[in-house]
Amino acid sequence: MKGSPIFWCISFYNEIQFLKSCLSALPRLSIDKLILVDGAYRSYPHKLPYSTDGSLEIAREYADILIETRVAWNTEWEKRNSYFIGTPGSYYVVVDADETWTGPRPELGVKPYDGISYNLLLRRQCE
């Protein structure tokens, strides 16, 4: 398939109530990669800096690449910058675990995939 892969980047921390629906809603083609990054930020209140609610087990089921930590991230930027592992020309879509993709699903034939663009349609999940 032509085009660069899309790296779907999901940041989470103890979000089992949202993570599975977030991940299962993403459009995924064979060239795409799913990167999940776990962990709390230093300034975020936490007992342990990594997920303990089952989120990691769900992430392991879905992720092409899972970045785990045993030390809290210094900042949100540090955590999010850990996504950028591709080559020049790669595309990245950053989605939080409490958001659900509601856009087209090209792998289901809903919209032709040109390898270049998606309309980003996300909605915040409610508890």
Over the stretch 17-44, which tens digit does the pLDDT of each residue have?
A: 999 999 988 877 788 889 999 999 999 8
Please, are residues 98 and 125 in contact by the beta-carbon 8 Å criterion? yes
Instruction: Confirm whether pTM is higher than 0.85.
Output: no
Beta bridge partners of 94: 9
Residue 122 has pLDDT above 70, yes or no: no
For position 2, what pLDDT does the model report?
55
Q: Which of 38-42, 50-54, 61-65, 88-92 has the lowest mean pLDDT?
A: 88-92
Check: CB of residue 19 under 8 Å from CB of residue 58.
yes
